[in-house]
Amino acid sequence: MSSIPANLKYADSHEWARLETDGSVTVGISDHAQGALGDLVFVEVPEVGRALEKGAAAAVVESVKAASDVYSPISGEVIAANPALGAAPELVNNDPYGEGWLFKLKPGNPDELAGLLDAEAYGKVVEEAGH
């Protein structure tokens, strides 16, 4: 069973979002997503300064077998991208909610966060994906 921390918000396309104390939002992919993808070998993160629409293709995670898009769960401007993933894409596998974060946004509309799934609702999405 994959881990779904209760303090995060989720998109049904398997990204997580976390509101930080400074008002920024950190984005990554869920434990379920990294498990389904398998060993990641390349991560392409968005450029700092890029404006993202909610649902826009923002990053690419590539396993040995295939490339998958990561969508921005909310709109906003990219203010940081995880610099460690260039040399160590496996951080996303090993620590998807911590060291394996993908990028940080300055939210365009903070209300969008409330519209995302909570852990319980996302757990149902994962459960259904398993059938």
Partner 1 sequence: MGFKTPLYDTHVAAGARLVDFGGWDMPVHYGSQIEEHHAVRRDAGMFDVSHMLAVDVTGGGARDLLRRVLANDVAKLKEPGKALYSCMLDASGGVKDDLLVYFLGEQGYRVVVNAGTREKDLEWLRSHAAACDARIHPRTDLAIIAVQGPRAREKAAGLIGDHASAALQLRPFTGRELAPYFIARTGYTGEDGWEIMLPAQDAARFWEELRSAGVAPCGLGARDTLRLEAGMNLYGNDMDETVSPLESGLAWTVAFDPPERVFIGREALEAQLRTGVARKLVGLVLEDRGILRSHQKVYTQVGEGELTSGTFSPTLQRSIGLARVPAATGERVEVDIRGKRLAARVVKYPFVRNGKALV
Tokens 């998109």 belong to 11
DSSP class per residue in 45-88: PPPTT-EE-TT-EEEEEEESS-EEEEE-SS-EEEEEE-GGGGT-
Please work out, in degrees rounded to the nearest 5, the angle formed at the alpha carbon of residue 96 by the alpha carbons of 90 and 98.
105
Q: By CB under 8 A, name the binding residues for partner 1.
A: 38-39, 41-42, 44, 60, 62-67, 86
Q: Quote the least distance from Cβ 111 to partner 1, whole Å.
A: 31
If the CB atoms of residues 1 and 6 are measured against partner 1, the closer one turns out to be 1
- When the beta carbons of 41 and 84 are compared against partner 1, the nearer one is 41
Check: CB of residue 33 under 8 Å from CB of residue 14: yes
- Least Cβ distance, residue 36 to partner 1 (angstroms): 8
The nearer residue to partner 1, 9 or 32, going by C-beta atoms, is 32
Q: Which of 62/95 has CB closer to partner 1?
A: 62
Nearest distance from residue 110's CB to partner 1, in Å? 30
C-beta of 38: minimal distance to partner 1 in Å? Answer: 6
Tokens of 14: 């398997």
